[in-house]
With several copies, the nearest count.
Chain A
Amino acid sequence: MQSGDELFFQGVELMLAGIGSVFVFLIMLVLATRTMSWALMRFGRAGEDDLPLAHVAAISAAVSAYRRSRRVEE
């Protein structure tokens, strides 16, 4: 059980942290959105030059790289 003061202090803490977090998160979203839109306008759509089978190779490479990195640690 907590005293009324503690409870109220928790509320203040939650309010400040909450408002802060919402703003930080949504400001990041504004920046990310602007950056994305800018990048798309700047560079247009990426070329489609990769080989279709390349993705299996890519996934394989990722798994393989990961496992190798693990082995080093173990």
Chain B
Amino acid sequence: MDVISTILSETGFAQITFGQGVMILIGLTLLYLAIVRGFEPLLLVPIGFGGILANIPGVDIATGDGLLYLLYQGGLETSIFPLLIFMGVGALTDFGPVLANPKTILLGAAAQIGIFVTVLGALGLSVAGVMDFNIAEAAAIGIIGGADGPTAIYVASKLAPDLLGAIAVAAYSYMALVPLIQPPIVRALTSLEERKIVMAQAREVSKLEKILFPLLLLLLTALLLPSAAPLLGMLCFGNLMRECGVVERLSDTAQNALINIVTILLGLAVGSKLGAEYFLEWKTLGILALGVVAFALGTAGGVLMAKLLNLVVKDKVNPIIGAAGVSAVPMAARVSNRLGIEANPENILLMHAMGPNVAGVIGSATAAGIMITYVGGAG
């Protein structure tokens, strides 16, 4: 009968391409990593699942008027989702450690070196004819080294939307792999003596300082780097709600219902860019390779900056915490803590590492602003 052949021809078996099959397996791999291995599950579960949905043949999900495409269009093309996530991150972040020891901000600065060196590396691959990244794509890839998911997604959606899926997968995968990537680099660049340095107890930070910090950061951004103002502005807004003490209910919603809703929708929207036509490209291999380079260089940058600082400051810094400057909050700070205990079981570095760790978020948002300005102006 006619209808049976219609129905048969509409099955997935009849329509699936090899590429879609591969992508479904990759989606399942991401779910495995998220669920069994604990790789950034809050993002990789929705992204992985979205990636599978995006590769179901014969139905508009990540295309046309399908849900994932509508979410992509409404939330990522507009940047609304990453900006609301940044607001939630601000509401969840305690900048106390940064205020107690502002020089750790410099570690967060140095750890962004990996971003820019990687941009150069990506362009080098293009020049060498290995890959074909233009400057906007190279900039978006570099941001993986910022080790901050929403920043990477924000930049990629603006500068290289077709690479968004691969960049997000790389960013979250390497953030989850920080416990593997960082320790050998830290050990190679520091002596055991250095890793044993005990840092002075951080001072108490007043409530007023915490309230003023997001405003200070906002004003500095407005005056020096307006292109970073959407990201840093929303971070500061969330943090001001958290610290000001008079809008508890808004802060609570920003930290819970709102960020959770947006995380679910953002993850699915990112999944819409895991279609085989976007992801199964040689460029993806380049992105994965460059991403790990960016993380490694950022880690090295943070550690070396800490050693440099120790040449000039009185209160020595344990160079391990430089590695936390990449961000990957709070994973990198925990790795620093573990490395500290390994060198000296009584040395609890966690709170000290939180300083460069959250400064790294500011650092990569800064770098994002510069990328967008420069590529918009020169690229």
Which residues of A line the B interface, CB within 8 A? 4-5, 7-8, 10-30, 32-34, 36-37, 40, 45, 48, 52-53, 55-56, 58-60, 62-67, 69
**Measured between alpha carbons, how far is A72 from B217 in the docked complex, in Å?**
34
Q: Is B135 an interface position by the 8 A CB rule?
A: yes
**Measured between alpha carbons, how far is A45 from B208 in the docked complex, in Å?**
9
With A28-B224, A45-B208, A63-B284 as known contacts, state yes or no: A17 contacts B370, CB within 8 Å. yes
Task: Among B105, B169, B379, point to the contact of A29 (Cβ < 8 A).
Answer: B105
A39 to chain B, nearest CB (A): 10
Q: Which residues of B are found within 8 Å of A25, using beta-carbon distances?
A: 109, 220, 224-225, 366
A-B CB contact pairs (8 Å), 26 listed: A4-B127, A8-B123, A11-B123, A11-B124, A13-B3, A14-B119, A14-B135, A16-B3, A17-B1, A19-B112, A21-B366, A26-B363, A28-B220, A29-B216, A33-B98, A33-B102, A33-B216, A34-B102, A36-B209, A52-B37, A53-B180, A55-B29, A60-B284, A64-B282, A66-B18, A66-B276
Q: Is B280 an interface position by the 8 A CB rule?
A: yes
Q: Which residues of A are found within 8 Å of B49, using beta-carbon distances?
A: none
**Measured between alpha carbons, how far is A10 from B289 in the docked complex, in Å?**
22
Q: Which of B19-27, B68-76, B255-263 contacts A (4 or more CB under 8 A)?
A: B19-27
Q: Which residues of B are found within 8 Å of A48, using beta-carbon distances?
A: 36
Q: Are A15 and B120 in contact, with the CB atoms below 8 A?
A: yes
Task: Among B36, B126, B177, B375, point to the contact of A7 (Cβ < 8 A).
Answer: B126
Q: Are B106 and A15 in contact, with the CB atoms below 8 A?
A: no
Specify the main secondary structure of chain B where it touches its partner: helix
With A33-B216, A66-B22 as known contacts, state yes or no: A26 contacts B116, CB within 8 Å. no
Q: Which residues of B are found within 8 Å of A15, using beta-carbon distances?
A: 116-117, 119-120
Closest to B284 in A: A63
Count how many chain B residues have C-beta atoms less than 8 Å from C-beta atoms of the other chain: 74
Q: Which residues of B are found within 8 Å of A22, using beta-carbon distances?
A: 109, 112, 363, 366-367, 370
Which residues of B line the A interface, CB within 8 A? 1-4, 7, 18-19, 22, 25-26, 29, 32-33, 36-37, 98-99, 102-103, 105-106, 108-109, 112-113, 115-117, 119-120, 122-124, 126-127, 134-135, 138-139, 169, 173, 177, 180, 206, 208-209, 212-213, 216-217, 220, 224-225, 276, 279-282, 284-285, 288-289, 292, 359, 362-363, 366-367, 370-371, 374-375, 378-379
Q: Are A17 and B4 in contact, with the CB atoms below 8 A?
A: yes
Q: Which residues of B are found within 8 Å of A30, using beta-carbon distances?
A: 102-103, 105-106
Q: Which residues of B are found within 8 Å of A19, using beta-carbon distances?
A: 112-113, 116
With A10-B135, A11-B124, A22-B366 as known contacts, state yes or no: A17 contacts B3, CB within 8 Å. yes
Task: Among B173, B208, B276, B281, point to the contact of A40 (Cβ < 8 A).
Answer: B208
Q: Which residues of A are found within 8 Å of B122, using beta-carbon distances?
A: 11
Specify the main secondary structure of chain A where it touches its partner: helix
**Measured between alpha carbons, how far is A26 from B345 in the docked complex, in Å?**
32
Task: Among A18, A29, A53, point to the contact of B362 (Cβ < 8 A).
Answer: A29
Extra A-B contacts (5), CB below 8 Å, given A15-B117, A59-B169: A11-B120, A29-B102, A53-B177, A60-B284, A63-B22
**Measured between alpha carbons, how far is A17 from B3 in the docked complex, in Å?**
7
Q: Which residues of B are found within 8 Å of A20, using beta-carbon distances?
A: 4
A18 to chain B, nearest CB (A): 4
Q: Which residues of B are found within 8 Å of A28, using beta-carbon distances?
A: 220, 224
Q: Which residues of B are found within 8 Å of A29, using beta-carbon distances?
A: 102, 105, 216-217, 220, 362
**Measured between alpha carbons, how far is A27 from B208 in the docked complex, in Å?**
22
Q: Which residues of B are found within 8 Å of A18, using beta-carbon distances?
A: 115-116, 119, 367, 370-371, 374
With A26-B362, A60-B285 as known contacts, state yes or no: A40 contacts B209, CB within 8 Å. yes
Closest to A15 in B: B116
B181 to chain A, nearest CB (A): 9
With A28-B224, A58-B29, A63-B285 as known contacts, state yes or no: A52 contacts B177, CB within 8 Å. yes
A26 to chain B, nearest CB (A): 4
Q: Are B216 and A36 in contact, with the CB atoms below 8 A?
A: yes
With A26-B362, A27-B106, A33-B99 as known contacts, state yes or no: A10 contacts B209, CB within 8 Å. no
